[in-house]
Amino acid sequence: MATISRLIRAAVSAFLLVVFAFNNAQMPPSAARELMEQEILPQLAAATASVQRLTIPAAAFTPGAQYYSYENHGRYLKYFEGSSPSDTGYFVAPVLLPQGATLSRLTFHYKDGGAGQADLLLVRHTHDTQGSLLMAELLSSDIWAPSFGSASTTNFNPTALIDNSLYSYYLNLSLPPGGLVWGCGVEIEYYPPAQAPVSSTLSMPPAAFIPFEDGYGYQNSGWNLIHNSGAASAADRGWYLAPVHLPDGATVTRLVFHWFREDSAAVGTAYLQRTMIGADTYQTMAEASSAAGAGSLASSTADTTITGAVVDNSTYAYWILVDLPAAGQPGLHVEGREVDVLYQMPSASFSLISVPAAAFRAYEDGYDFENHARHLFHKHDAVGGLNNGWYMAPVNLPDGVTVTKMTFYWYRNGTYTGTARLQRTKLGEGTYEDMAVAVAPQGAATNGSSSDTTIAGAVIDNSQYAYWLVWDLPAGSTATTGVHGQEVVIEFRYRVLLPLIRRQ
């Protein structure tokens, strides 16, 4: 604490010196600027450096197998049964932290219903290997009286340092059957890297991927993804999608697909794709495929020829698509592992994120839908009826930024309406609040957008809340009718810590 106080005093003293120099012309402007850039700003950064937080809402978790009965309310996750009523269910979610960050605390929020325990694992997987390493584990309290609670740890094995170039990271949440024990979100506290990196890696584990449509037979352990069968035919290939969020202005330099194959005459392929917001088109930026052949092999393939390499979140939304053969067919076993996106950091901080349809997952099992990554439409509810469908996507924004606008991009045709909501939950309470709402109105066939600039709770506080988006879409939609969710763009601004100083 004393060191921080001295740094703050030194920073303030130097800051006042520059003000004096500017205002009194006793120091050349070039020397004053050099002093500010080389001494004041680094001291202030060191003095004010503090723990950062990544909140992962229930909306981020994907079921580990296709046959689970569950409900995902965004703010909490309920699991009822698997292939048998007594089976424990596991759900996985990616952990995407900055290269060089250091973990400091993991907190699991839950509701304990007195019927077994929830078990949360933080896991890392080494690229191109079998298996994973447990870094931390937390259990719910297993008390009889239903209540909300939390559990935390500051111990991480074997190291708390994040290295996305060698590993991917994910959460595995196990829930007992019966729907009485809820997963209510996870909070990860970390220290950012000491120096802002020039380049970085986004390592997307299988935990980040969701199926293109309902009816797939699959297994997702968090570190490997196996497509067993298609929705219409057991032999059909499967598409799995994950949203990609990169800083505005970053330059993508490399796509790496990690995979495992047994004797296989088929290949799996990873694509980095983008859609022009509101246009419902798509473009492949890079692709990498596994190698067919005899014998078991864990390896990776890369592509460095990137189309549209500079990230523009104001114009495009981005995602990864992994195309896998049906492992249930003889000689076609190919597992998807991590997909890494390597990039150069931008010179300026980004001020918006675009969330593609690829990020959205169904509220409950049994929905009939299609998710084409650039658009999603809802056909039937869980019992084949025409109730609206809810689809959710997690939202992760830096602590302290202020959300200024949410824009919902959609396609509509007919007497239907669809709604997008930005929501938050107070950690440990299971409540929720609408922050912004935008409606796709009924009318003739068109692509369009709706916005909301009246943001409730606009300042992001990851120490108290987790955030997500909800699409409320009408049933009966087809490829040309109804309301399709395309993207959501969230605009925000950073806090300004220092005033701009000008000589009068």
Of the pLDDT bands very low, low, confident and very high (cuts 50, 70, 90), residue 147 is confident
- For residue 32, is pLDDT > 50? no
pLDDT of 36 over the 90 cut: no
| Span 105-118, pLDDT tens digits | 999 999 988 778 99
pLDDT per position as a tens digit, 277-289: 999 899 999 999 9
Report whether pLDDT(309) > 60.
yes
Buried b (16+ CB within 10 A) or exposed e, 183-203: bbbbbbbbbbeeeeeeebbbb
Instruction: State the average pLDDT for the chain.
Output: 88
Comparing 37-41, 58-62, 198-202, 215-219, which segment has the lowest mean pLDDT?
37-41
Average pLDDT over residues 228-255: 95
Confidence of residue 208 (pLDDT cuts 50, 70, 90): very high
> Using one digit for the tens of pLDDT, what is the confidence trace for 471-500?
999 999 999 999 999 999 999 987 544 333
Residue 349's pLDDT is what? 57
Determine which of 62-71, 265-274, 346-355, 417-426 has the lowest per-residue pLDDT on average.
346-355
**Alpha carbon separation from 20 to 6, 26, 204, 501 (Å, rounded):** 21, 8, 50, 11
Predicted confidence at residue 345, as pLDDT, reads 87
* pLDDT level of residue 145 (50, 70, 90 thresholds): low
pLDDT at position 500, please? 36
Give residue 12's pLDDT. 40
Q: Which of helix, strand or coil describes residue 29? A: helix
Torsions phi, psi for 446 (to 5 deg): -170, 155
Return the biggest CA–CA distance within the chain.
81
What is the predicted pLDDT for the residue at 351? 75
Written as one string, the DSSP assignment of 92-143 is EEE----TT-EEEEEEEEEEE-SSS--EEEEEEEETTSSS-EEEEEEE----
Asked whether the predicted pLDDT for residue 459 surpasses 80, the reply is yes
Instruction: Give CA torsion, residues 254, 260, 263, 266, to 10 deg.
Output: -50
Q: What is the pLDDT of residue 144?
A: 65
- The alpha carbon torsion through 326, 328, 334, 338 (nearest 10 deg) reads 80
Q: What is the mean pLDDT of residues 76-99?
A: 95
| Highest-scoring range by mean pLDDT, 12-16, 241-245, 292-296 | 241-245
Identify the bridge partners of residue 271 per DSSP, sorted by sequence position: 287, 321
- Residue bearing the bigger pLDDT, 254 or 143: 254
- Residue 38 pLDDT exceeds 70: no
pLDDT recorded at residue 99: 92
